[in-house]
Amino acid sequence: MLIFDIIPYITKISIDSGVNIIYKTVLKGGYYTAIDKNQIDYQADSLICIDENGQIANIVCPMDEDYETIQLEASQQDNLVVLAEDQVILPGFVDLHVHAPQWPNAGLALDRPLYEWLDQYTFPLEAKFKDANYAHLVYDNLVETLLANGTTTALYFGSVDNTGNVELAKACLTHHQRGFVGKVVMDNPEQTPDYYRDESAQTALDETEAFIHEVEQLNKDQAIPVTPVITPRFLPSCTDEVLVGLGKLAAQYNLPIQSHCSESDWENGYALETHGKRDAAVLDEFGLLTDKTVLAHGTLLNDEDLDRFKNRGVGIAHCPISNVYFGNAVMATHKILEKDVKVGMGTDISGGFDPSIYQNIRQAIMSSRMLEDGVDSQLSPEVRGQKSSAITAKNAFYMATVGGAKSLNLPTGQIKEGYAADLQVVHTKYPTFGHQKPEETFEKVMYQTTASEIDHVMTQGVFVK
């Protein structure tokens, strides 16, 4: 066992001698999993034993007395999967912020101002998802692509039209991804186009409730049910009436909530101008800040906002690539982690151009270094940056796995007994030309992995790649 940093951490799980347990799948190989925001656990040549329900039932290390017995029985039952020398096992990633209908626009018009990007590119595209055939084509490809990139759980913004949202839920079920899907609500005629909005607050609430019930029907007899999500797009797009109603629906059905918060100077300023307070406070007043809430971006959050989030149990979706284009600032990730506010990673397709959480891990680290060092060469080093802002690969990996799972209140994101077998098997991209320590391999995997290096992906014990 090897732990990177601080205290030792030992997980020893064994079964009673003489009791034979047949597992659905046993993976043999080394694995990395986050213990907390600063520590990564590495175990070599372990047996990860997965039961019929897709849960990790047992983790057996080479020194455990049952190791050889379990390995032999798994081999005889033909359910032993042995990794190659250059392969390692990681938890599947959790993507906390995906605008599903924007997938066709990924990488498009990112040099345009936010209002132009929305009005000329994003809203016209999202309006197409009232066509079920088009929605099926896009969403089938999107879910497959995310899984191929190691994302086993995704929190999706759908569109205004439920026709497309149902197709998104179906795609998650078909491809065995752990999907959270929200019907987007935007009923404010002053801030939304006439061709793409809810006709009224009541219509938006009725359609939200209808989607909840449609998902309930789709979920019958499903191993991984889709979770409907209450989804006000953001404050500028929603009237007070609809926000009140959405807060009540979230409480009535005990559902997750997602929106944007303090994403940009424009959004931040809108809340102050129209409500006289910050958007976190406004959302709170409408009952939209709960321990099931995930809010995206947060580049302009202040200490009062973060304290409010911690008290309410709110999670933050950190979208570092998208924030470069539309966030107007670098999110204070290190401070958020130190305050123990829940925070995970998001791609924010299509504000983020890449569906890979690995790419966002790297950007999160780079952006934090720029925040610490500063970017204005005309300033002296003493005032150029913000001290103690940089994060590490371990911090970012924690957000991509444990942080995301905690934000969604899920028993996944870790390789741990009793957790869902949501896993990815990756191989190292380049040869080492000699001995490489496990902590060095971990760092290289974080910085170099693409979809091409992800050999297998498993969700709830089922191989989906």
pLDDT in tens, 36-89: 999 999 999 999 999 999 999 999 999 999 999 999 999 999 999 999 999 999
Nearest to 36, CA basis, from 290, 438, 416, 395: 395
- Answer yes or no: CATH 3.20.20.140 is held by domain 93-408: yes
pLDDT in tens, 345-385: 999 999 999 999 999 999 999 999 999 999 999 999 889 99
Nearest to 273, CA basis, from 285, 282, 286: 282
DSSP state letters, 137-176? HHHHHHHHHHHHTTEEEEEEE--S-HHHHHHHHHHHHHHT
pLDDT in tens, 414-446: 999 999 999 999 999 998 888 899 999 999 999
Kindly state the average pLDDT of the residues 119-123. Answer: 95
pLDDT for res 114: 87
CA 350 to chain centre: 15
Residues 457 and 465: their CA atoms lie apart, in Å, by 5
pLDDT for res 267: 86
292 within 8 A of 409, measured Cβ to Cβ: yes
Kindly state the average pLDDT of the residues 304-324. Answer: 98
Q: CA-CA distances (angstroms) from residue 2 to 222, 270, 313, 407? A: 38, 49, 32, 27
Token look-up 């990924």 returns: 106
Global pTM value = 0.95
In one letter, which amino acid is 11?
T
pLDDT for res 6: 30
Numbered ranges of CATH 2.30.40.10 in the chain: 25-91+415-463
Average pLDDT, the chain: 94
What are the phi and psi torsion angles at 153 (to 5°)? -130, 135
- Answer yes or no: CATH 2.30.40.10 is held by domain 25-91+415-463: yes
Q: 13 falls in which pLDDT band (50, 70, 90)?
A: very low
Numbered ranges of CATH 3.20.20.140 in the chain: 93-408
Signed CA dihedral, 138, 107, 112, 240: sign only: positive
pLDDT for res 220: 95
pLDDT in tens, 249-282: 999 999 999 999 999 888 888 999 999 999 999 9
Q: 20 falls in which pLDDT band (50, 70, 90)?
A: low
Token look-up 């090897």 returns: 2
pLDDT for res 320: 98
64 within 8 A of 12, measured Cβ to Cβ: yes
**Residue 55 DSSP class:** B
Residue 9 has pLDDT above 80, yes or no: no
Signed CA dihedral, 258, 261, 264, 268: sign only: positive
**Residue 278 DSSP class:** -
pLDDT for res 268: 86
Residue 16 has pLDDT above 60, yes or no: no
